[in-house]
Amino acid sequence: MTWLQNALAFLVTLGILVTIHEFGHYIVARWCGVKVLRFSLGMGKVIYSRRLGKDQTEWAISLLPLGGYVKMLDAREMGAEKIAPDELSREFCQQSVWKRIAIVAAGPIANFLLAIFLYTALFVHGVPEPVAKVRVGSTSSVAYKAGLRYGDLVTAVNGEQVQSWTEFRWKMLQAGVNRRNPVLEVQRAGTREISGNTPISVEISLQQLSSKEADNDILQHLGLNLAGSTEVILDGFLPDSPAQRAGLQAGDRILEIDHKPLLDIIDFRQIVNASADKPLKLLIERKNNKFEVEVTPVSQEVNGQTVGLMKVTYKPMVPEMTVVQAGLLQAFAKSVEKTWDTSIFSLKMMGKMLTGSVSLKNITGPLTIADYAGQTSRIGMVVYLGFIAVISISLGVMNLLPIPVLDGGHLLYYSLEVLTGKPLQDRYVEMGQRAGFFLLLTMMAIAFFNDIARLMS
C-alpha cells in the first residue's frame, strides 16, 4: 500500500501549496479592489461549490486535483459588454499596471512566505539532524588527498558555521555550482585541536571535477559520505550463508578483517565484495570474548559484476545526531536566508541546464515528488514539513520564470507595459501563450520521462 500513501501525501502536499499560492492571488486582488468570481481547488468540472461574502465569490472544489485557480472579473474572458457598468472599475484589466503586477506576483510570494513560516516553526521546534561527520572514501579520493580523514567533524564551510550534515551538504552544493573551492574547518578526534579552539583548515580543490560532477552530487565525486556508527554487528543470516556455516552468530561484532581494523559497515562490505572465493580471517567479539574465524565469501553475479558475499545482515549504521534549534528571531533570519539561497540555487541550476553544463535528468516530475512526499511523511512530521517547504520554494521559483502561461510570463508582459507605456498587442500575447504552452508541455514530458526512468532503475 506504499503507492497509496505516496498518492495521499502528494495530494495533501499539492493541496497545501496550491491553496497558499492561489490565496496569495485572491487576497491581493481583493486588496486592489478586483472582484473575484471563483476560488477553485483543482481544475476542470466543479464538483462542489458554495458562494460566500458580499461579492458571492464561489468557493469550489473541481474534479482534477492537480492545481487550482482564481477567476477574477476579466473583460478578456467574458467580454466588456457583459460586465455591469457599476462593476467595470473592479475589472482586472482596468487596474493600474502596478496593481496587476502585485496580484500576479502574490502567488509565488505566498509560496516563499509559506516556506519561511515552515522553516521558522521547524527551527524553533528543533530539527533532529545527523552531525557533519564525514566518511572519507579511498586514499585516492579528492577529499583524502586534500587532507580530510574518516570521522572529521566539519564545523564551517568558507567561514560559515555548519551545525548539521544537511547544512554541510547544502554549502558544498553551493560551492560546486559557484565553482568556488570550499575551505572546511574540521575538528579531528585524537588531536589537540578538538579540545581547543583551533580547528584544522582543509581546502578542497574542485578543479579535478567536471562541471557536471561539481553541479550534481558533489560529495560523491569528492569521495565523501556521512559517517555512521563504526561497529559492525551481525543481525542475521540469509540462506546458505558462509558466515553462518563458519560458526558466526547474530550479535557477533566484527573487529578486524585479515588483521586490519574495520572502519564501518561500508568498509566491511567493500572488502567482502572484493574477496570472492578468497578466505578472510575475521576477528570476532562475542560476550567480551575475542576469537578468529575464517570465512570464504561466495562468488555471485550482481549487476553484471562478480562480487563476494557472506550473506549476512547487520544492525543499521546509525549516524551521530544533533538538534538544530534557534530562538524565534534567529530562526526567522535563518529561514529567510535558507529560502533565498534555495531560490538562487534553483535558478542557477536551471541556467546551467539551459547551457548544457547540467543534465536535464535533474528535472523531476510529479511521480518523484509523490515518492518523496510518501517517504518523508513516513519518517515523521518534521521531515515532511521540511519537504513541503522545499517544494513550495520550487513552485514559487518555477512560477516566476518568464514563460507565458505562468505568472512570470504575465509579469514579463506587464514589465514591458511599464517600459513602453502601453499594453502588449493581443497577437503577441497569443503567440507567447502558444510558445509558453509548448515549452511547458516539453518540460513536463522530460520530467515524466525522468520519473519513469528513476522508477525503472
Q: Kindly list the catalytic residues.
A: 22
Q: Output b/e per residue, 345-372; b: 16+ Cβ within 10 A.
A: bbeebeebbeeeebeeeebbbebbbbbb
Torsion of CA 449, 453, 455, 457, to 10 degrees: 180
DSSP element (H, E) containing 447: helix 426-456
CA–CA dist 157, 171 (Å, integer): 7
Cell of 363: 528535472
CA–CA dist 233, 8 (Å, integer): 37
- Give yes or no for a contact between 48 and 30, defined as CB atoms under 8 angstroms apart: no
CA–CA dist 255, 84 (Å, integer): 84
Q: How far is CA 344 from the centre of its chain?
A: 14
Burial label for 207, CB within 10 Å (0-12, 13-18, 19+), is exposed
Phi first, then psi: what are they for 446, rounded to 5°? -65, -45
**Amino acid symbol at 20:** I
Angle at 107 (CA atoms; ends 101, 111), nearest 5 degrees: 135
Phi first, then psi: what are they for 220, rounded to 5°? -60, -45
Determine how β-strand 253-257 pairs with β-strand 280-286: antiparallel
CA–CA dist 410, 398 (Å, integer): 13
Cβ neighbours of residue 211 closer than 8 Å, sequence gap 6 or more: 179, 352, 357, 358
